[in-house]
Amino acid sequence: MINIILIILISFIPIVFWGYTFSSLKEQKLNKKRFILWIFSGGLSVIPILYMDKIIDFIKVNFLNFFENASKISSIFSSLNFWFSLSIFIFILVILSFLFWPIFRKNRELINSYLKNFILVLVFIWIISIIFYFINILSNNFHFLNDSVWNQSQVYFWNTIFNTIKLIIFYYILVAFIEEVSKHFNFIWVSILDIKKVEDWVLYAIFVALWFSFIENILYFYSLYLQYWLGWELVQSYFFRSIFSLMLHIFASSVVAYYFSKAYLKYKKEWKIFPYLKIFFIWLAVAILLHFIFNFALTFWFGFIVILYFIIWYLYISSIFYRE
């Protein structure tokens, strides 16, 4: 029990540091309501993702294992099967976040935002399934996509092994998509009724990302602790995740929040739905791509990508907060 408390406390240190740093940039004072909202949103974003295999196994719904369905895409029918399973899982994530917001706030505007964005996400899932289908076709001509990777680069999820370049691309695109969509839907209900300025919206998204990282890190560190005790693997993971992984979540969430907020505020003035959906769609895709490239590069030991991301992240976030 003491070890668990210690893991929680050390996981909280970088959250406090970055939270204070970003709050001071906008001179935002934290309050109890926001604190509780951010904890809820962080937990709701990350727990269903990390424990999806156990949840699927417990409720005996194997058809929802979209990771396995992705690895088996070879035809339009299998693409539809993948689309259906991933859509159901995203729907569950949306419902989970949707169930809690009436505790804190009640507004029809929230429902409308959920519905519009969820429909757009369903289209996004179909595009991903088509991309996977064409990658699978290309792999027949470009055989390097089917090459096996090193053992340390293999990714395991439940009973599926992602051990080729093609399958690892599938895996990390899915992880990036699910995490960014999950953070976004939990960001909506903690922010959309309170914010009038783009910079404030980005700040709220950053705090959702911080709490997402906090919950995620606790679960990762505890898993490493069970395997390696207080060894070098745990220390190394703590350093990396407290700086670079956390930076990635902030970066990707900020990209989505910045352009989503600009599109949403413009939509409220002009009531034109297509430009709003187009901007949100494009920049959600950009955030997912950034997330995917980061994870994929680490798998194949392209460490310079991490430094490049850190520089771009600093310049991007600074430009948002100092633009005024």
In a domain, 295, yes or no: yes
The DSSP 8-state label assigned to residue 229 in this structure reads: S
In a domain, 39, yes or no: no
| Domain match, 172 and 201 both | no
pLDDT for residue 102 = 56
Q: What is the DSSP string of 233-275?
A: HHHHHHHHIIIIIHHHHHHHHHHHHHHHHHHHHHHHHH--HHH
Q: Please identify, among 118, 149, 176, the residue that sits at the C-terminal boundary of a domain.
A: 176
Find out whether 164 and 26 touch, Cβ atoms under 8 Å: no
In a domain, 69, yes or no: yes
In a domain, 292, yes or no: yes
- Number of Cβ within a 10 Å radius of residue 45: 30
Q: Please identify, among 143, 176, 209, the residue that sits at the C-terminal boundary of a domain.
A: 176
Average pLDDT of adjacent 10-residue blocks, the chain of 324 residues: 76 79 63 61 67 69 78 84 89 74 60 82 91 86 70 60 79 89 79 71 83 81 76 78 84 87 77 76 89 84 77 80 66
In whole angstroms, what is the distance from residue 183 CA to residue 194 CA?
18
In a domain, 259, yes or no: yes
| Domain match, 268 and 170 both | no
In whole angstroms, what is the distance from residue 78 CA to residue 75 CA?
5
Domain span including residue 130: 50-176
| Domain match, 256 and 201 both | yes
In a domain, 96, yes or no: yes
| Domain match, 214 and 301 both | yes
- State the Cα angle at 319 between 315 and 321, rounded to 5°: 125
Please enumerate, as own/partner, the contacts of 114-120 that have beta carbons within 8 Å and a separation of 24 or more. 114/185, 114/188, 116/273, 116/276, 116/277, 117/184, 117/185, 117/188, 117/280, 118/90, 118/91, 118/94, 118/185, 120/277, 120/280, 120/281
| Domain match, 221 and 296 both | yes
Q: How many domains does the chain have?
A: 2
| Domain match, 63 and 156 both | yes
In a domain, 187, yes or no: no
Q: Regarding beta strands 155-157 and 160-162, do their DSSP bridges make them parallel or antiparallel, or are they unpaired? A: antiparallel
pLDDT for residue 31 = 55
| Domain match, 240 and 163 both | no
Owner of token pair 């009038």:
196
In a domain, 117, yes or no: yes
pLDDT for residue 4 = 76
In whole angstroms, what is the distance from residue 157 CA to residue 115 CA?
30
| Domain match, 203 and 324 both | yes
| Domain match, 223 and 115 both | no
| Domain match, 95 and 164 both | yes
- Compute the radius of gyration of the chain from its Cα atoms: 20
